[in-house]
Structure 1
């Protein structure tokens, strides 16, 4: 595993984690909201990694990547392309978890000639879902709505949680199903879950909160790209008991994206679906 900083225009830096053999099939990992490159540690907690090369980039404001308030999907695509060229990766696949799935779709649309496969796990479909807030947990729905209607107030409210990664972890875990909470009690999984949130908030409460709101706005507003027919295999995984982003979002994505295939995992929630999807498909 290697972690390094990549300079970008405007004096900012990206923090990148590169795991697995250099000659293995490459996957770029797009983390959730909130999240970080260390979210990969959750995906791989119960899985072998020798057969793939996983490259995870902290989006601006998370982990070690410089904050960028004006960040857009085009910037994310450019960041992925830059890192791929630096690592001499010509073709790659994309794995997007939760809100990161929308960033994966945007990147796949812009760079489809370089993309082999796309896997979306627990991804919200807010702008294409008839009742997005109805089909989400209370914490999730309220946060999505506030990001669009009262973003500054939400930043202030979120800073209470993002100022303490333990409080943030507790808030997220309390929003999960009893079964998924029990699943995350395994020491290796709980450690990876906490490491991800520590990294996600390491730049401080306000930067983390601002980054979360920025990303939710990008995810929840009308998407400035079309994924109707990407021409590459698109696999969608969603837990039937996802208490944060309900299965209806995965179903909406499948109906929206031509040729996509949905696998609904019984007895699975949000984070455990990431682990199981990785194990099944990569």
Structure 2
């Protein structure tokens, strides 16, 4: 896995990853990481990626890992950073995969990049905030509600909240906890402190992004979208993907009874297979 620092037009650094530098024979899939994670493409999908001839591209969102913080960023502005990555690497088109909040950034990138995106797969994505027809907080764990309500109050309040010593309780289900004993224990190496060596800016700005206007309209996405969600998820309730499926023009919804926020990753390999099948071999 090559690591690359991309310099953006405003002088920021975006720390990125490329699993197969220069290999134009593979389908490029951009990984959009969850909150609070690094952007390293998922190691548990390495074997499937080889079989499917996938080239992974990823980057730490601003404020995470080696990427410069960008207070005031939005989902659309972060998606626009991907243009620099693709142009620098000489990549014309790509597919996208996003997990958890990364699903929102994947959808935002598809809206911003238009025809450069050939297909999108999300696992436990977050829907836009305060949209008609969705009770955004319904079914969400109390820690999640408190954290996101702090973001609604503004970036300063969200930063104060995150530095107050408050502890976030994800209330993982038994099926979630079991995942950490297998390949997806990898999440522990990219989440939390490893992702935030310079403070909580990445987490703060992610949560603010989720409750601010995206700056782009997911309804304009032209690429096919596959939304995967577990019905037992209380970190991001499955009603978020249900709303997205009802409001995106080319979306399919794959709900899994009993699966939750981490255990839904058992469907990451099928999601990757769907991406490979959705994009013609010559793309």
Under TM normalisation by the shorter chain, which class is it? 0.7 to 0.9
CA-to-partner distance for each residue in 1:221-269, whole Å, 9 max, x for gaps? 2333222242211100101221211111111111111231000123321
Q: Does the aligned pair in 2 maintain the 1:134–1:141 contact within 8 Å?
A: no
1:228 corresponding residue in structure 2: 219
Which runs of structure 2 are paired with 1:75-90 in the superposition (5 Å)?
A: 75-90=77-92
Partner SS for 2:269 = helix
Whole-angstrom CA distance in 2 between matches of 1:255 and 1:43 = 31
Which runs of structure 2 are paired with 1:20-39 in the superposition (5 Å)?
A: 20=20, 22=23, 23-38=25-40
2:147 corresponding residue in structure 1: 143
Residues 218/191 of structure 1: CA separation in 2 closer, same or farther (3 Å cut): closer
Q: Does the aligned pair in 2 maintain the 1:240–1:268 contact within 8 Å?
A: yes
1:199 pairs, out of 194, 197, 203, with 194
Partner SS for 1:258 = coil
Residues 81/43 of structure 1: CA separation in 2 closer, same or farther (3 Å cut): farther
Segments of 5+ residues of structure 1 without an aligned counterpart are 163-167
Residues 151/25 of structure 1: CA separation in 2 closer, same or farther (3 Å cut): same
TM-score (norm 2): 0.85
Whole-angstrom CA distance in 2 between matches of 1:182 and 1:53 = 29
Whole-angstrom CA distance in 2 between matches of 1:252 and 1:35 = 25
2:126 pairs, out of 124, 127, 132, with 124
Whole-angstrom CA distance in 1 between matches of 2:80 and 2:220 = 21
Q: Does the aligned pair in 2 maintain the 1:20–1:49 contact within 8 Å?
A: no
Superposed CA RMSD: 2.3
2:15 corresponding residue in structure 1: 15
Whole-angstrom CA distance in 2 between matches of 1:230 and 1:179 = 33
Segments of 5+ residues of structure 2 without an aligned counterpart are 274-283
Residues 151/12 of structure 1: CA separation in 2 closer, same or farther (3 Å cut): closer
Whole-angstrom CA distance in 2 between matches of 1:69 and 1:151 = 8
Matched, 1:179 2:175: yes
Partner SS for 1:69 = coil
Q: Does the aligned pair in 1 maintain the 2:137–2:145 contact within 8 Å?
A: yes
Give, in angstroms, the shift of residue 34 of structure 1: 1.4
Whole-angstrom CA distance in 1 between matches of 2:94 and 2:236 = 27
